[in-house]
Structure 1
């Protein structure tokens, strides 16, 4: 999350720089479209990483829970 926040801060600064310095409308719009596409890709990557983390956590938690239940059944 920290990396995503840092990326968004830099993205905003870059967009402002483009707005303030690029005078040709077509070039400005193309640059802003590329920045938006980069932001979209970064957000998609962040969502994918989060989903993978959650999936791995659930799998590991399930394995641990199964082991604990097995130990409890043996002890009973």
Structure 2
């Protein structure tokens, strides 16, 4: 341990970022539920509709997360961070 630790200060940016997995899964499940309710005919058709509806909903969820991220990127704040190395 040294007697005089080295102190350095640096400006950092802090921002909130969306959780892409949560947006994707939410979109997937909403798309699957909407597709299931729309395709209550034959079982094969309903299964395909649920699969493609889920994939489409997941894609919409990821696009929503990207738009949310672009919106929040400009709202980040700058702070001073201090690093102490002993």
**TM-score, normalising length from structure 2?**
0.45
Answer 1 or 2: which has greater helix percent. Answer: 1
Higher RCO structure, 1 or 2 (CA under 8 Å, sep 6+)? 2
